[in-house]
Chains A and B, each alone.
Chain A
Amino acid sequence: MQKYSLNMLLVVFAIGLLFAAHFRIIDGYIQIVVMTIGINIMMSTSLNLVNGNMGEFTCGHAAFMCVGAYISSILSVFCFGTKFGDPLLPAASVVIVFPIIVLIGGAAAAVSSLLVSIPSFKTRDDYLAIISIAVNYMIISAIENMDFVGGSRGFQGMKDTVWAMVDIFDGPWMLFWVINFTVFSVWVIRRFISSTYGKGVNAICQDEVAAEIMSVNTNKIKIINFMVAAGLAGCAGGLYAHIIGYVNPQSFNILKSTEALVMVYLGGMGSLSGAIISAIIFTGLLEVLRSQAIIDGLLSPITFMFPDWEPSAGVIKWVIIPLLLIIVMQFRSEGIMGNRELGDVFPKLKKFYRFK
């Protein structure tokens, strides 16, 4: 019971969500928000692997998302789109091929992570942060200068793939894939870091010299850790591209990387459940504060005093969220969860689930 409770809960939740989406109980907007939460969970948990568990500081995580998004988009258009000529594959195979396309995008992102992981052999902390920003810029400008994928105008045509899926069965396909991939990525990360093999990553974080001398092949572990993180970010990118149906290099710039960083630090370094919780809170907050009514309500005491001032939600949102960050960092600098997991904070929960 304890062994399966979490899986059962997840399955019930996923099926409920899919049913609700299929029968239009939740509308398209809510679905997009849920999918964004899923993608942000993938981004924050995977970045947490590098910044939290390995203790390196990288802030170019969106670069890998970008690689994943472009590679899977191009493959998707080749296989099912009409942009580059006739589709290579029959539309009926889309349900099997689509996850493979996303995984290939992830694999490409994993390979591109070598750009950061090889310098990380000799560099740490701030210096690695600079390198990761440089890699972020490099990848974006490389794509901006590739004309066959549209350059800075962006790239589209991935919706053909989504429509091919809808032709087979009219349902919320992207929601289905996002749920699957989110669970998949959390599962991969959890299994990796809870094995003795993956604990080498923590050893590097806590004392790299001791790790190197006490039998951990630090270079190899760093490469693997970066590859897993970048690979999952690449999968997130592939899904993102197919949800929006359009990708632009500038949507993966340093701002997107910062968003992932914020989620990791908000949740607590090295805490997987923290990264998940903060991804949900952060994405939710971004959406909630879009509403002009809520902003007006929040600011009513001030607008009462200064009746001439008419704050717009789009602007004020970016004052409130950074302000919240400042407050969290000031009064709880270890983040929501610290470096603990949910089971450590609420020991009683451990009786009800086992997460392996």
Chain B
Amino acid sequence: MMAQTQIQTESTPVLEVRGLTQRFGGLKALKDFNVTLMPGELCGLIGPNGAGKTTVFNLVSGFYQPTEGQILVDGNPTAGLRPHKVTALGVARTFQNIRLWNDMTVLDNIRVAQHNQLGYGFFHAIARSKRYQAREEQVTKEAEELLDVFDLKRYAEELPKNLPYGTQRKLEIARALSSHPKLLLLDEPAAGLNSADAKDLIRLIRWIHDTFDVTIWMIEHHMDVMMELATQIKVIDFGETIADGNPEQIRNHPTVITAYLGDDNI
């Protein structure tokens, strides 16, 4: 507790969301959502299907513009920024259904994710200038290192669509990390994995959290994964925050149990 207060006084939050509301036509997908993530935290976001979890991620990653409310990434407001600019501020994400570039090699997938940090433009690419060569070499080197630590190096020249499902998940996380994020959003990383793979994933996420200097926020339906990893969990249902706390509190929270399992007086 002591350590946590110290962090809070020292640094700006990686992500600060205030009063976030999103309407799609008449539907209020998200109502007055608030969250503050400090550097180095590993948090969770859960809720029944259709609760608005992915909407939160889409808003934070800049894919949607919020109807109301404010999102600050590392102290910078993201209102009106296009997604690639938000990525440049340090947000990277994975997707619920894997969205890799399937006809590019694994190595290229990692390299292209550094697109906004290339630092050279069209004419440098055409002229194969000094800057192009230096940057391209560095980007390739970084990508290879990343593949190496993720144990994916032997797949470098393969196409992602030919890889096993679990490896594709891993690659998507590696791709997200390759853009040097401060905040990593994982949208159901364990979806479709069997329990052995899910255990590997828990280890992987914990290892990423320890190795890379990154704050992780994840959506997950596998409660065991969530309970094991997250220090703080937010629960939303029908766009409203219904609970907030550590895993133990969430597990026994009456509203959460009602939201997931229904009322007992039918």
Contact = CB atoms under 8 A, between A and B. Distances in A.
Given A195-B132, A202-B104, A218 B120 contact: no
Interface stretch (A13-21, A207-215, A316-324): A207-215
A210 B100 contact: yes
B239 to A, nearest CB: 22
B257 interface: no
Interface string B134-153: 00100100000000000000
A211 B132 CA distance: 21
Contacts of A210: 95, 99-101
Interface string A187-223: 0100110011111101101110111111111110000
Nearest to A214: B113
Interface centre among A192, A198, A206, A211 (most CB of B within 10 A): A206
A216 B126 contact: no
A228 interface: yes
Contacts of B88: 215
Interface string B80-112: 001110011000110100011111100010011
A191 B125 contact: yes
A212 B63 CA distance: 8
A43 B126 CA distance: 19
A206 B102 contact: yes
A5 to B, nearest CB: 18
B115 interface: yes
A219 B117 CA distance: 16
A95 interface: no
A271 to B, nearest CB: 12
B125 A195 contact: yes
A217 B118 CA distance: 12
Given A212-B84, A215-B116, A217-B84, A199 B108 contact: yes
Nearest to A270: B103
A200 B179 CA distance: 14
Interface string B44-85: 000000000000000001110000000000000000001110
Nearest to B101: A206
Interface residues of B, number: 39
Nearest to B127: A191
Contact of A195 (B87, B93, B95, B136): B136
A339 interface: yes
Given A192-B126, A209-B63, A210-B95, A197 B103 contact: no
A200 B113 CA distance: 9
A203 B100 CA distance: 9
Nearest to A190: B126
A207 B121 CA distance: 22
A329 B111 CA distance: 34
Contact of A213 (B83, B114, B121, B122): B83
Contacts of B114: 196, 215
B122 A207 contact: no
A210 B97 CA distance: 11
Interface in A206-250: 206-207, 209-219, 224, 228
Nearest to B102: A206
B116 A216 contact: yes
A215 B117 contact: yes
B176 interface: yes
Contact of A207 (B100, B111, B139): B100
A207 B101 CA distance: 6
Nearest to A206: B101
Interface string A46-90: 000000000000000000000000000000000000000000000
A203 B84 contact: no
A350 B107 CA distance: 20
Nearest to B104: A202
B104 A214 contact: no
Contacts of A215: 84, 87-88, 113-117, 179
Interface string A329-356: 0000000000100000000000000001
A192 B120 CA distance: 12
Nearest to B88: A215
Interface in B189-207: none
Given A191-B128, A197-B115, A197-B122, 19 more contacts: A191-B126, A192-B122, A195-B125, A196-B139, A203-B101, A205-B103, A206-B103, A206-B104, A207-B100, A207-B101, A209-B99, A212-B84, A213-B83, A213-B93, A215-B87, A215-B115, A216-B84, A217-B84, A339-B103
11 contacts: A199-B112, A202-B112, A203-B101, A203-B104, A203-B112, A207-B101, A211-B101, A213-B83, A214-B175, A215-B87, A217-B115
Report the 8 A-B pairs with minimum CB-CB distance, sorted nearest first: A195-B125, A210-B99, A206-B101, A215-B116, A215-B87, A216-B115, A213-B83, A212-B83
Interface of B: 61-63, 82-84, 87-88, 92-93, 95, 99-104, 108, 111-118, 120-122, 124-126, 128, 132, 136, 139, 175-176, 179
